[in-house]
Amino acid sequence: MIISLIRKINRWWLSKKFLSKCIIAVICAISLSKIFEQVHQFVQIKLSETIAERIMFSVSVTVLLITSYLLTIALQGKEKLRNISNYDTLTGLHSRHFLEENKSRIIAEARRHEWCVWAVMLDLNKFKPINDRFGHHEGDRLLKYFARRLLDVVRDTDLCVRLGGDEVVIIGSDPNYDAVTTLVERILKDMETWSLEIEGVTIKMTAAVGFSTKRLFKGSSITLEEIIKEADDEMYKNKKQVS
């Protein structure tokens, strides 16, 4: 009976929004505690002390298990929502939302250490014709491949963000002014091997790249938006040369 109830709760949980789940979970926990009180009063009045103790023990365990389960799935739901908002569901890269939430922290830390902050903008070349020719499913495969290759070359401390479509920005900070140049060189070198087979056709992939880096000092007014804008402008200049 308990297992059946838990399964029903699980199906119900997956079909509702997280906020309503949390509210109902709390209500269920409170309701269970009230039931526990009523059962306790009943067994004290109607049954012998030994039987009452056994029943109360069973009820206590049941209430504890169900309440623990409700709290567990509530926490799992919260973690799932956090991942959805922080990561792009298609590519696994960080989301624009995550970048917006963390841009002030990135700048503040760089100012404190007087480090360089840099941005590398990338945009796949000829992505639209490929997407139009082979369809969105294959276009999605291309984007996943693009993201995976970028994650293979960036540092663990770098922030790789999908801005939308086939545009990606990589944000990083380093005491060395030339760190961004080293990263771009790694990306361009790796790009020479980018290829994906779609419907028997080998697609050679390239991307337009632009970057900008600024050393920040205490009291500096430079923003991350300005750094990204410079990288974006350079990337589009390079893209026009390819088109």
pLDDT of residue 139: 94
Q: How confident is the model at residue 1 (pLDDT cuts 50, 70, 90)?
A: very low
Instruction: Say whether pLDDT at 233 is over 60.
Output: yes
Instruction: Say whether pLDDT at 3 is over 60.
Output: no
Q: Are 207 and 122 in contact (CB under 8 A)?
A: yes
Edge-to-edge strand order for the sheet containing 167-174? 159-164, 167-174, 116-124, 207-215
Q: Tell me the helices (H) and strands (E) count for the chain, helix number first.
A: 8, 6
Instruction: Say whether pLDDT at 7 is over 50.
Output: no
Structure pTM?
Answer: 0.68
Instruction: Say whether pLDDT at 6 is over 50.
Output: no
The arithmetic mean of pLDDT across residues 226-243, rounded, is: 91
The arithmetic mean of pLDDT across residues 201-226, rounded, is: 95
Tokens of 228: 């990204």
pLDDT of residue 37: 59
Q: Is the dihedral of CA 223, 225, 228, 229 positive or negative?
A: negative
Percent of the residues in the chain that have a pLDDT greater than 90, as a whole number: 60
Q: Are 143 and 151 in contact (CB under 8 A)?
A: no
pLDDT of residue 85: 78
Nearest to 9 by CA among 103, 76, 98: 76
CA distance linking residue 167 with residue 207, whole number of Å: 10
pLDDT of residue 2: 44
Q: How far apart are the first and last CA of the chain?
A: 66
- Exposure string for 72-94, b = 16+ CB within 10 A, e = fewer: ebbeebeeeeeeeeebbeebebb
Tens of pLDDT, residues 50-83:
655 566 556 666 666 666 666 666 555 444 545 5
- CATH code assigned to 96-242: 3.30.70.270
Q: How confident is the model at residue 240 (pLDDT cuts 50, 70, 90)?
A: confident
